[in-house]
Chain A
Amino acid sequence: MIDKSYAIGVIAAMGGVTFALRAVPFVAGLWLQKHPVVQRLGHFLPLAIMALLTVNSMVGMAATDPSGPWPEGLSGALVAMLQWRTRNALLSILLGTGVYVVLRNTHWLGA
């Protein structure tokens, strides 16, 4: 069982950080908009960071998987392809996760 006061502390901290990030532009927006560096980072970082989070979480899962990294790579590629074609996040996530769960529990791919 997860301790309640610990969980509430985590939720409060996450809420605070998330709100602060979303509020930064509205507090210091005019100053930030004036700097071309910020604009450039705004074009570059969101995609770069999402790609990094994806790869990092895949690597993390593959490390716990005796038959890794094939199930992770295959399911990840499936999610990306589905999302690119259909733009249906729910479909992509449920199908990709479903395929991954099947691969992990049936050990089709080695080990």
Chain B
Amino acid sequence: MGYIPLGAVFGFLFVQAGADGWLAVLASVVVFAGAAQYMMIPMIAAGTSVGAIALATLIVNLRHVFYGLSLLNKLPQGRLARWYLVFGLTDETYSVLTTLPAGTRDKQLVLIALLNQAWWVLGSLIGAVIGAQAQISLVGLDFALVALFCVLTVEQWRARKSAAPLWVALLAYAVAFLGSPRHALVIAIALSVVAALALDRASRVVPENQK
């Protein structure tokens, strides 16, 4: 149910940016990825190329690769059910699935994902309808994207024992920003990958030396 208002914010902002209401609904049916959909609004409003938006989607949703890895044996074997769940593996659905006991029935798993998407689509529709009524020229409504990213960061932080990735990321961003403000994000991601691999090596070398 929590998806309805978040979907409504998406539908509202998308329509305010100048898109038809049914496009908001289509996006929520076809894409079904909250952060990426929020991110796309200013880009599509500015006429950014499809390729650049696809690349940004890749970066924003890269974490989903790792969600699937931890669920390999938990998803249903039936083809349709399995692939629908793969499609619907959002942050919310993932966090619900990880809390379920191992023997949960396939039907129930599919129902969870279907309901999540139903609320998301319904919310988008409601938001789009409201957004079509009146143009509100309030500066700063697009802070909703920053807020959503921030919420996801806090939840990722909570799920981890170590905050090291957070500090490494902030440091990497500072370094990247000094080097090239325009490409700071991509450079910082690359630096973070390198740091992750280097830290991994360091942590494996130490125990061997202590033997």
Contact = CB atoms under 8 A, between A and B. Distances in A.
A80 B64 contact: no
Nearest to A40: B200
Interface residues of B, number: 91
A52 B173 contact: yes
A109 interface: no
B149 A57 contact: yes
B interface: dominant SS:
helix
Interface string B1-29: 01001100100000001111001001100
Chain A's interface: helix, strand, loop or mixed, by majority? helix
A21 B26 contact: no
Contacts of B86: 19, 22-23, 26
Nearest to B58: A17
B165 A47 contact: yes
Nearest to B60: A53
Interface in B154-211: 154-158, 160, 163-166, 168-170, 172-173, 177, 184-185, 188-189, 192-193, 196-197, 199-200
A4 B23 contact: yes
Contacts of A18: 31-33, 36, 57, 61, 64
Interface of B: 2, 5-6, 9, 17-20, 23, 26-27, 30-33, 35-37, 39-40, 44-45, 47, 50-51, 53-54, 57-72, 75, 82-83, 86-87, 89, 138-158, 160, 163-166, 168-170, 172-173, 177, 184-185, 188-189, 192-193, 196-197, 199-200
